[in-house]
A and B are shown apart, each in its own frame.
Chain A
């Protein structure tokens, strides 16, 4: 663990690249053990997508079968986006791609950080508009607590004790250029 000064605030590194890879490998075997075949991994924008791809690679090594990977933009299902709000910036829409029909599959939603649970509620609302999976499960790299809805993850990389004002930053090389997880007081993305 290394402390890092950035913008005057202290950031503590919780995971490095090696630990993230180890964690993803463990998550992949948990997914295989409990769910077997007929899997679809669906990454939630932004960092859920590379995470889902890495999990799928690990799973296909374990099982010898390709696992389809989709990507989901939950913006149109958020509970804080709509015409009743005062003037604000509408979030930019991103691409949703589900490569196969989701009926009767076990769909694993994949995200980097589980926090309030509101993103996952929106994702569940979105998924049912595409079909009726056999089951929907949730895999996250970091569970930082402070749920505001009755939502729990099935596969968790790491549980982090945080205060609600702390910022959890996950970096993944595909998006950020490097791998790592930090906790700090800086403003930024925090799932």
Chain B
């Protein structure tokens, strides 16, 4: 294996891939691999986090990430509290901190936060003693998604180093693409972005990917093809003329997938827009790992919760 595993996560929080060491990423993936087994038992629960309280603070809509965290927490025997707030009431940083301080009066051990503002989890990590886990902050990072994506690639190929990974679609609004870029670069994979110019972020060259303005040339020899959801809620109309036109140029169809390596696999962080960025035949095809990603997500989140239990009193992750 290319990267040695760390012996521990020496941190209180997981707020982004940017601040994780490669050895820590390896440790999370190795730990998740053992925790995957819990889901195959007759009793899918272990007692290791009994007595711990986890607050799931979701300030943005989420179904699968919230369910995945909640299932991870329950499989480790933690108690869970779910807070969903409308974005309008907590859109200012000061209000968020006040919310968090009120939550701290209930003494949670962890706060899992999804927030529309970039840096909200980082800010929270500085002001509360609970372990903060970022479940997505604006267009910045979604570290647990990148970790479960990497886990799924490693599970399939046995390695990350040297894999040719294409991430295609709405890179500009995608915290998934950013976190994946940080992670895949740290772990030695080769990354390509494919997107129309209007869906590439400013400063894309800093993300360590080869950029393509068409999907076809990016797919050549690819081992992994990850299609991103078109995020209509984050876009101005000017970036995105029509779903039909997007489909014609950027959707992953069986014909386009044939350009990738014969053993290539297909991933998608969900939720999918079938017939926009991906064809149903591809999404449901035998090369699709999309449902493995969902299963693996629970194990990866269990691993982070487990490993952070050792980090009480450690310095905050980054700022």
Contacts and interface: CB of A to CB of B under 8 A. Distances in A.
Interface of A: 73, 75-78, 81-90, 92-96, 125, 128-131
Given A94-B34, A96-B37, A83 B312 contact: yes
B31 interface: yes
Contacts of B314: 87
B47 interface: yes
B42 interface: yes
Contacts of B49: 82-83
B134 to A, nearest CB: 19
Given A82-B52, A129-B41, A130-B41, A90 B310 contact: yes
A101 to B, nearest CB: 9
Contacts of A94: 34
A83 B35 contact: no
Contact of B312 (A73, A75, A87): A87
Interface of A is mostly: loop
B48 A82 contact: yes
B313 interface: yes
26 contacts: A76-B48, A76-B306, A77-B46, A77-B47, A77-B48, A81-B309, A82-B48, A83-B309, A84-B52, A85-B309, A85-B312, A86-B312, A87-B313, A89-B8, A90-B306, A92-B31, A93-B31, A93-B34, A95-B34, A95-B37, A96-B37, A129-B41, A129-B42, A129-B43, A129-B45, A130-B42
A82 B305 CA distance: 10
Contacts of A128: 43
A82 B312 CA distance: 11
A94 B5 CA distance: 13
Interface centre among A73, A77, A90, A125 (most CB of B within 10 A): A90
Interface in B149-164: none
Given A90-B307, A93-B30, 17 more contacts: A73-B34, A76-B47, A82-B48, A82-B50, A83-B51, A83-B52, A83-B312, A84-B51, A84-B52, A85-B310, A90-B8, A92-B5, A92-B31, A95-B34, A129-B41, A129-B42, A129-B43
A84 B78 CA distance: 12
Contacts of B31: 92-93
B319 interface: no
Interface in B76-108: none
A85 to B, nearest CB: 7
B107 to A, nearest CB: 11
Per CB-CB distance, the 6 closest pairs between chain A and chain B, nearest first, are A90-B310, A93-B34, A87-B313, A76-B46, A83-B309, A129-B43
Given A73-B34, A83-B109, A89-B7, A131 B42 contact: yes
A130 B41 CA distance: 6
Contacts of B27: 92
B47 A92 contact: no
A88 B37 CA distance: 25
B275 interface: no
Contacts of A73: 34
Interface in B277-319: 306-307, 309-314
A78 B310 CA distance: 14
Given A129-B41, A129-B46, A131-B42, A89 B51 contact: no
Contacts of A90: 8-9, 306-307, 309-310
Nearest to A90: B310
A77 B45 CA distance: 11
Contacts of A77: 46-48
Contacts of A95: 34, 37
B202 to A, nearest CB: 40
B292 to A, nearest CB: 20
Given A73-B34, A95-B34, A130-B41, A89 B310 contact: yes
Interface string B108-131: 010000000000000000000000
A18 to B, nearest CB: 36
Interface centre among A82, A89, A94, A129 (most CB of B within 10 A): A82
B309 A82 contact: yes
A69 B224 CA distance: 38
B24 to A, nearest CB: 12
A31 B25 CA distance: 44
Contacts of A130: 41-43
